[in-house]
Structure 1
Amino acid sequence: MIGLGVWQLQRRAEKEAMLALVASNPARPPVAFPTFSPVPSEQLFRRSSAYCLHVIRWHSEAGRAADGTTGYRYIADCATGAEGPGILVAAGVSARPDAKPQWQGGQMRGWIGEEPDHRSLLSRISGKAMPLRPMLIAGEPVPGLKPLAPPTAADVPNNHLAYAGQWFFFAAIAVIIYLLALAKRTPPVDPR
């Protein structure tokens, strides 16, 4: 457990370096939209564009608009051709959960992001979780939706210090349990 805590501290330093890179990405020149996952740190939050041939389906979840209000972020699952992975486009925010975006596809410009993470904790810990797919975060919303808040490095979690603390805490609890078990095992001293 102590080894896992130390490993999390090492990962924290790596994550901070990655976050510094991600924070500088929006100011860098645009790049081609990545076709496959995972999205490399060098491309996360960079400006890009993609073409949605047609929208296959819409889904919504909690999101934040550029003006700071919260609502429902609408994500289009788009086809890009007869075959291939398609693309995801976060197209805008609505205050209503039942908004029906009329956008059917076309060219979209924005920032490269990742799809919302709905993977289970167990699948991520075991290494069996699929990597998150790339998603274009629209710079301009589709008609009827409000613009999305631009992505920032603050959107990327950095929990490694907390995880390290948890592992060190678990190690301390294990030591206490071990000492209590040893105390119970020691035979009582005969008072004679």
Structure 2
Amino acid sequence: MRRVPVLSTLVVLAAVALMVSLGVWQLHRLQWKEALLADYAAAQHSGAEIAWPSKGVDEALFYHRAYLTCAGVTNHSSMAGRNTAGESGMAQTAQCVLPGGGTALVVLGWSQQPNDALEWQGGEVHGTIAPGPRLVADPPLAGLQANARPDPSEIPNNHFAYAIQWFFFAATALAVYAIALWKRLRAG
């Protein structure tokens, strides 16, 4: 009779333990992400407007209403974006210098063409802090159309699916190894 291969069994069990731990980690990430998204949703519906911090924005401020004064523009650019009607086009941006030091990326508004807001050189901006971080102007500036409002519901939360995937991988590894072991012992 053939013996159970010790090294192979240990390797498979270690791999299964790793996959199960990754599944459990994804479940913890799920709880963290749900809390984060709830905080973002609360920020989005808060009526309070905050000042853009000159030392930079951390993710705890995402989706809050904010304002800043753009003392000068160092760069204009554009990136893919959507307007409030859901049409694809270009979000026009400006890299602003803040009066107290620091910089901020401001999404001025939306247009069909890139670089439609080159004449905008600064001023008061009100809007929503979006990941990036960037301030999405609301109302739009420089004669542009309004961008789609940043929405935390667009952030993917697929940690539960990832957890199920890791648990499935672990179960598959165990099943394949059990079949291979059964064939080996039966042949012996």
Which TM-score tier does this pair reach, normalised by the shorter chain?
A: 0.7 to 0.9
User: What whole-Å deviation, never above 9, does each CA across 1:33-69 have from its counterpart, x for those lacking one?
Assistant: 23324221xx321111011122222232221111222
Unaligned runs of 5+ in 1: 116-133
**TM-score for the superposition, normalised by structure 1:** 0.75
- Residue 119 (structure 2) pairs with residue 105 (structure 1): no
CA RMSD of aligned residues (A): 2.4
For this pair of structures, how many residues does the alignment match? 168
Q: Distance in 2 between matches of 1:172 and 1:75?
A: 49
| Aligned counterparts, 1:35-184, within 5 A | 35-40=55-60, 43-81=61-99, 83-84=101-102, 86-115=103-132, 134-179=133-178, 181-183=180-182
User: What whole-Å deviation, never above 9, does each CA across 1:81-125 have from its counterpart, x for those lacking one?
Assistant: 5853x111111111123535321111100111221xxxxxxxxxx
Q: Distance in 1 between matches of 2:187 and 2:173?
A: 24
Q: Distance in 2 between matches of 1:65 and 1:162?
A: 31
When residues 20 and 96 of structure 1 are mapped into structure 2, their CA distance, relative to the original with a 3 A threshold, is same
Look at both structures and tell me which one has the larger radius of gyration over its CA atoms. 2
AA in 2 matched with 1:14: W
AA in 2 matched with 1:61: M
Q: Per-residue deviation at 1:32?
A: 2.2
From 51, 59, 66, the equivalent of 1:32 is 51
**TM-score for the superposition, normalised by structure 2:** 0.76
Q: Per-residue deviation at 1:185?
A: 4.9
Contact map agreement 2:108 2:137 (CA 8 A) in 1 = yes
Q: Per-residue deviation at 1:156?
A: 2.3
Q: Distance in 1 between matches of 2:41 and 2:186?
A: 61
Contact map agreement 2:117 2:142 (CA 8 A) in 1 = no
When residues 98 and 172 of structure 1 are mapped into structure 2, their CA distance, relative to the original with a 3 A threshold, is farther
Task: Report which stretch shifted further, 20-29 or 86-95.
Answer: 20-29
Unaligned runs of 5+ in 2: 1-18
